[in-house]
Amino acid sequence: MGRTTTNIPMSHRVLSPHHNYDAGHNPCDQQPVQLCGSIFGFLEEEATMSSSENDIYNIQQDIEDEECEDPEDIEDKIKFWETQHQNLHTTLVRTTSLESKIRNITKEVLEEVKMAENVCSCPRSVSGGCRSCLMREICSRLQKSGYDSAICKSRWKNSSDFPSGEHTFLDVIDSSNHKKDSVRVIIELELRGQFEMKKGSEEYNSLVCKLPDLFVGKPERLQTVIKILSNAAKECMKEKKMHLGPWRKRRYMQAKWLRVAERSRVMTTVKPLVEDECST
């Protein structure tokens, strides 16, 4: 009794991963089968998806997420950033006569440093002066103008909330008004740089751009600035669904200017920016 054979479609034989061809049978003699519609073709295309396609996909997902965002959430987001801009502007425009005088002297020194060639007295001099020499120059000028100015160094230890660190800046303590307590004014030469973030959103970066490089103000004013920017950084990372680094939090930023470990009031000998004609 002869065996009956079942004709298996060619596409099934080719798609079977364990199919063994008969001896002497050349698979190249078969007509090529299109696999693009099969499950194997789909998996291969998915596995070989390029990074650029992934980027496009992620961008499309972000756009879809934004489109699906609740209108009330969008309104709250806009209101939040408008409030931060307004609060920061109000805080920065306020100033006292003491702050204005100290700021003007500091700006004069900075302008003179830009025009001078050799200001840095360090072994490795820097064009325009390094931060340390620049602070010594400003401190010396303020002292000569009758202000109790000093170079301050703040330090804080490692804790469960944030890592250890240190920061150097200037301050002035004014005790001229004997009827009131002494007033402290902080001078920070690079305030904007302290809050810049590479991964900051457009709204956050726009807020940071409102900060001046040179800040001259009382600790209370600086604390308000820190609060505004720290809240903005927190909201920025929340919107981007990212973790906020501990060095971006309010307590860490406050430690930079409020945990003073050293205050050097010694008059420093600094090479004059412009030589006195009488000395030549």
Instruction: Kindly tell me if the per-residue pLDDT of 264 is higher than 80.
Output: yes
Q: Which phi-psi region, left, alpha or beta, contains residue 130 (left: φ > 0; alpha: ψ -120 to 50)?
A: beta
* Residue 160: DSSP 8-state: S
Nearest to 91 by CA among 259, 187, 212, 233: 212
What's the full length of the chain, in residues?
280
Instruction: Kindly tell me if the per-residue pLDDT of 277 is higher than 50.
Output: no
pLDDT, one tens digit per residue, over 240-256 is: 999 999 899 999 999 99
SS3 187: strand
pLDDT, one tens digit per residue, over 150-205 is: 999 999 888 888 888 999 999 999 998 877 889 999 999 999 999 999 989 999 99
β-bridge mates for residue 260, sequence order: 154
Report domain extents, the chain. 72-268
Task: Say what the pLDDT of residue 49 is.
Answer: 46
Instruction: Kindly tell me if the per-residue pLDDT of 5 is higher than 60.
Output: no
User: Rounded CA gap, 244 and 236, in Å?
Assistant: 9
Instruction: Kindly tell me if the per-residue pLDDT of 3 is higher than 60.
Output: no
Instruction: Kindly tell me if the per-residue pLDDT of 142 is higher than 70.
Output: yes
pLDDT confidence band for 267 (50 / 70 / 90): low
The CA-based diameter of the chain, rounded to the nearest angstrom, is 129
β-bridge mates for residue 156, sequence order: 165
Neighbouring CB atoms inside 10 A of 105's CB total 20
Task: Say what the pLDDT of residue 129 is.
Answer: 63
Structure tokens at 193: 């740089």
pLDDT, one tens digit per residue, over 52-100 is: 455 554 545 554 554 455 677 889 999 999 999 999 999 999 999 999 9
Q: Tokens 């303590």 belong to which residue?
A: 173
Contact 195, 229 (CB under 8 A): yes
**Is 184 exposed, middle or buried (CB count within 10 Å of its CB: 0-12, 13-18, 19+)?**
middle
Q: At what angle do helices 71-93 and 219-239 cross, to 10 degrees?
A: 160
Instruction: Kindly tell me if the per-residue pLDDT of 138 is higher than 60.
Output: yes
Read off the pLDDT of each residue in 33-44 and give the average, rounded to a whole number. 42
